[in-house]
A and B are shown apart, each in its own frame.
Chain A
Amino acid sequence: MFTPEPMSKVIIVAQKDRMAGIIEEVYRKHIFHIESFVEEEEDVTEGCKIGMPLPSANQASKDLLKLRSMINAFSIPKEGTEVEAKEAPARLRQLIEGELPALEKEVEGLLSEKTRLETRKKELEQKAENLKPFADVPFDLTLLRGFETMAVFSGFYRKLVVLNVPHEAYYSPKKGEQFLILVVPKEFRQDAERALLDAEFRPVPIPEAKGLPGEEIESSKKAVAEIAVQEEEIGKKLEDLKKKHTGFLLACNELLTSEVERAEAPLRFATTDQAFIAEGWIPRSKVPEFKEAVESASEGKAFVADLPVDPEHDKVPVEYDNLDFAKPSQMLMDLYSRPKYTEIDPTFMISIVFPIFFGIILGDVAYGAMLLALCLILGRMLKGDEPKMLLTTLRNASISSIVFGLLYSEFLGFALPWPPILFSRHLNIGAHAVGHGPAIPELMMMAIWIGIAHITLGRALGMINHARQDHGSHRTKAVMANLGWILLMWGILAMIWSAFPLPLMPDFSKLPVVVLGVNAATLAGAIMVLLGIIFIVRDAPLELVELPSIISHTLSYARMVAVGLSSVAIAMVINFIAIGMLIEPQLENLTVLGVVFIVGGVFVFLVGHVLNMVLGLLGGALHSIRLNYVEFFTKFYKGGGIKYNPFGMKKRFTED
């Protein structure tokens, strides 16, 4: 529960002609984490070479490439597709040879037709766009081209064009559109250009088109519309094909992917001319079963043995070994970093502490219930492991939120019919607010106590981790340093307790004076602090600069109160605005305008609380996970373990 799954290092040695059969069996078992062979290594496998892929790899890769391009063309999502019926591999293989090429040809044809139409459509649209300024020109555009003695200008002008040379001009009849076509004899070209420059003329090239521009535009538009219809037809055909073949394509993808994976496995094996060696990791409990399976698959011609494990130098892959309850929290661990094989795995602690912290922050029956409902609904809708794990974690957190809501006596910022069992977080907001107000000092002290306990646990785990991982004098020093941190923290606490009486904390200030005006608790605290610092310095003198962190880390747990209070305050303000300011005054003396106000009040109430719930979810989740990552993990946890990734595949679309 607190350590990763024990692993065994397994080696398989057999003749090369047995390789395909053994790979098949290992793939089917889906428990063997292959350790890739590296040629430079000088160990027992010296002189071996990296293996060559099986002969089937080439064809399977090619098929897979084509298949994937088709899956992309259909934009079939990899995840979340429902499985109707599993296909038998033999039948599928037949289909891959028979039907797949035909389907591929059809899709390719449709796609190229689609591209052609798209290009044509763009051309026509561009043409219409070019013709647009000439839309109202009542003559053939060919009349504007090919002159030897005339210069033609067309374009937009800003100011009035004043021209003192012989010319003919066409002005656009439309109001507001200052478009002009100007024809002048070539010898006056420069005069015309100057005049046009003065008029801030912006030329537009004369499009290469025949006939009346207006008609041309119309016909282009018609053609575009026709193309759009054709495109729609192709899209429909593609959609039909997609609907019909999605399951088949995904099944083919799975089959071919697994084939390629198997065919390429020898690239990770060490081989000689006649034999191959595969090294890898298997959960210890499954070794006998695996041995038996491989031996029977090779008719007793394979040598399978487990080798001694050296956890410090071997790259042991890490697989979690948790209770079902704690499993969803593995997601939170992977987000940070997977534990190393030799390390304590804190998943179980996170799975308990995270919901509690969340509940302390967002302790509200209504918000908790809404989140719970949301998790349950989304859990029905979403597929896939990771979202499920996240939702289960959130579900636990929202249950804890309901429990703490009952303890805090909170429901959407209102009080439940009983006084707070824990401490009150009810603020005095609004004109008629009466009551005691929040019990801030007690809440703070509660948070600090949780912090003290959490940090002490972290340091204790640090002692265990160092004792498990280190050797020699460093081991003792590292363990003592962690003890030193615990002593330091409790020493400081003892000194604070003997100086000030604090709520919810032991009061040592009344103890009799022992020596030099200080009492026993102060003295004990000072000795603990001194011892702690000595232990810490013995391990790493630089850690001295980290000493203040002991205060900041403990106080950091006050965020649970602060974030929680802010969410209560927002809820109460929403209630006050919606009910106290908008709804209640209108209800006393109902008018037509009053109904509008009441509707407004209900709107504020709903939107406000949804917003506050989202904020509370974000704040609650982020801050509780942060307290685990930053304040807890830094005390003992390194992470950086390799993920256990067994060779094989979870079949979703095909039969074994």
Chain B
Amino acid sequence: MSCGMNNTQTLPQMTPAVAMIRTLGLIAALCGVIIVAAYQGTYDAVQENKRIAVERAVFKVVPAAKSIVEYFALADGKLEKVGAGETAQSGAIKFYAGYDKDGRLVGIAAEGAAKGYADTVRILFAWEPATQQVPGFGVVSSRETPGIGDKIVLDKNFLANFPLEARLRADGQALAHEIQTVKHGSKANPWEIDAIAGATITSRAVGKAINDAAQILLPRIRPHLDTLKEKP
């Protein structure tokens, strides 16, 4: 109240450094308190939202599932159950095992990503261990042109590509047949994806995303299928 507020024409005075530090410190502390309070207040709701979002996405691609368990498939071939708030180690791939209401494994869902027309297309695809097929997929994030690139989830002919064969080779180290996207109208094998005419690049991204993720993840999961069979 001393210098700034009254209108006397005093020379501009420098505020002492101590006062500046004190004020800034006070304000920073106040802001810190507000942020911590907001974080604590919303934490439960945010975690719940995230869990619901993941479940909804997995249930969409594995419709028979009633509950899910998250796993990491580690680079050394081991499996690890994901606890709350854990982050992945390097080389670990996260996947979701979907169980029906009796606790039997009905499908596995994992993320895949590949470059599309505009940006990376990220999808969540399912894999059924019993039939060794990919029954379907859902889009996690995509910036493809609306009306063209978003046909991958709308086009009936494209969705008819699924279930798609994703059989592991006898030695279990890779897929027996690489999943490939072929030109519209030339699908001949159950492991090929018939591209959408006019949206070839996005169709190709879907095929590549599934193939790249499946080639690494499925060989890691295979030795553990027996332990995965029942819900822990």
Judge: A and B partners, yes or no: no
Interface residues of A (CB under 8 A from B): none
